[in-house]
């Protein structure tokens, strides 16, 4: 295991783009695992890499982290080029693999102290970081228990903690919630949300559509080694040309309300169906205030509103023809 020292605060990058992956390619024999993949992750951004099994997510992660040598392209982290032999760029990375990388016969605190020393931490600085990380992952009360006694979810959280010890600029999480119970999965997701809010760049691979929806500022959809689409949820949905659906329950003449809504900018259709006014809009949340104002002007009180937005599942199915597991 190579030693990767932590980065002094004064040496941390100020550039907004923490990770820049350019035209990455990797073959294993005749099989193309990664094919001309390009993406960037900014400071404070959580970028999700979404794809089915065998799509190339983990290989891409290993290329980004310098664990595999690319056949083509390059990765820059904090402006430093990543290589399999150098450690300069790796100092900025906290990598959390799919497999649990902990010593089961050591306690949680002993595991973190061991990995902290590999990062070049010693003395008071090491003790401070271990204590803080235990708090971050919610394991302070179990710090003196052996890891072999932990649940799968607790091991996952401690695994993430090991990647946080040296205060990385980029945290790379490769399917961190696989095989954990719902409570631990929620705890992991809340932790990841806090990392982005604190300004850390996060690269997050997942099988779970819900996680990508909840956590990721932008998503890259990878299939057969190629990045087939990228953007915010709204941008990806827009690629399908799908609409938001707005359903209004109101008192009064629903036909008149539908007519008024039909004339509003952003409304593509308005009909009365099943005792409701049903609208198709290009951006439901943006046009909703105009819809409510129109109802108010004609004296038709709105009792309830439902806005149904297209989700990433529809985009993913459209682009890959494969459903992710829920």
The pLDDT value given to residue 240: 66
Q: Are 4 and 91 in contact (CB under 8 A)?
A: yes
Q: Within a 10 A sphere around the Cβ of 119, how many other Cβ atoms? A: 22
**Distance set, CA 265 to CA 221, 257, 283, 288, 320 (Å):** 32, 15, 10, 11, 33
Per-residue pLDDT of 50-73, as tens digits, reads 988 888 999 999 999 999 999 999
Closest CA to 81 of 108, 63, 58: 63
For 298-322, how does the pLDDT look when each residue is reduced to its tens digit (9 = 90+)? 999 999 999 887 778 778 877 776 6
Go through the domains of the chain in sequence order and give each one's CATH number.
9-237 (3.40.50.300), 243-309 (3.30.70.100)
Position 228 pLDDT exceeds 90? yes
Of 22-36, 115-129, 172-186, the one with minimum mean pLDDT is: 172-186
Mean pLDDT computed over 285-296 = 93
Average pLDDT over the chain reads 89
Q: Report, as an integer, the average pLDDT of 66-91.
A: 95
d(Cα 60, Cα 49) in Å, to the nearest integer?
A: 9
* Per-residue model confidence as pLDDT tens digits over 238-283: 776 667 889 999 998 999 999 999 999 999 999 999 899 999 898 8
Reported pTM: 0.76
Asked if the model's pLDDT at residue 14 lies above 60, the reply is no
Tell me: the pLDDT tens digits for 131-179? 999 998 889 999 999 999 999 889 999 999 999 999 999 999 998 888 7
- pLDDT bin (cut points 50, 70, 90) of residue 31 is very high
């Amino acid at each position: 295991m190579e030693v990767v020292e932590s980065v002094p605060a004064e040496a941390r990058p100020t550039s907004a783009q923490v990770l820049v992956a350019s035209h990455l390619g990797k073959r294993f024999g005749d099989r193309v695992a990664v094919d001309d993949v390009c993406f960037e992750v900014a400071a404070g951004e959580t970028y999700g890499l979404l794809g089915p099994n065998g799509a190339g997510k983990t290989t891409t992660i290993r290329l980004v982290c310098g664990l595999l040598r690319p056949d083509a392209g390059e990765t820059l982290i904090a402006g430093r080029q990543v290589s399999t032999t150098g450690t300069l760029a790796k100092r900025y990375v906290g990598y959390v693999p799919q497999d649990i990388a902990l010593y089961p016969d050591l306690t949680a605190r002993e595991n973190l102290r061991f990995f902290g020393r590999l990062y070049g931490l010693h003395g008071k600085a090491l003790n401070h970081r271990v204590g803080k990380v235990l708090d971050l992952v919610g394991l302070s009360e179990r710090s003196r228990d052996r890891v072999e006694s932990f649940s799968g979810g607790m091991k996952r959280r401690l695994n993430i903690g090991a990647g946080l010890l040296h205060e990385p600029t980029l945290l790379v999480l490769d399917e961190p919630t696989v095989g954990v119970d719902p409570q631990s999965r929620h705890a992991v997701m809340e932790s990841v949300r806090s990392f982005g809010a604190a300004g850390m760049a996060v690269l997050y691979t997942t099988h779970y559509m819900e996680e990508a929806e909840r956590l990721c500022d932008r998503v890259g959809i990878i299939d057969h080694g190629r990045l087939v689409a990228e953007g915010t949820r709204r941008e990806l949905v827009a690629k399908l040309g799908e609409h938001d659906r707005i359903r209004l329950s109101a008192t009064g003449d629903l036909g008149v309300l539908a007519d008024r809504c039909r004339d509003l900018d952003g409304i593509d259709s308005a009909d009365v169906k099943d005792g409701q006014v049903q609208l198709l809009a290009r951006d439901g949340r943006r046009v909703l205030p105009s819809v409510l104002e129109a109802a108010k002007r004609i004296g038709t009180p709105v009792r309830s509103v439902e806005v149904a937005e297209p989700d990433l599942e529809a985009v993913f199915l459209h682009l890959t023809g494969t459903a992710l597991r829920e």
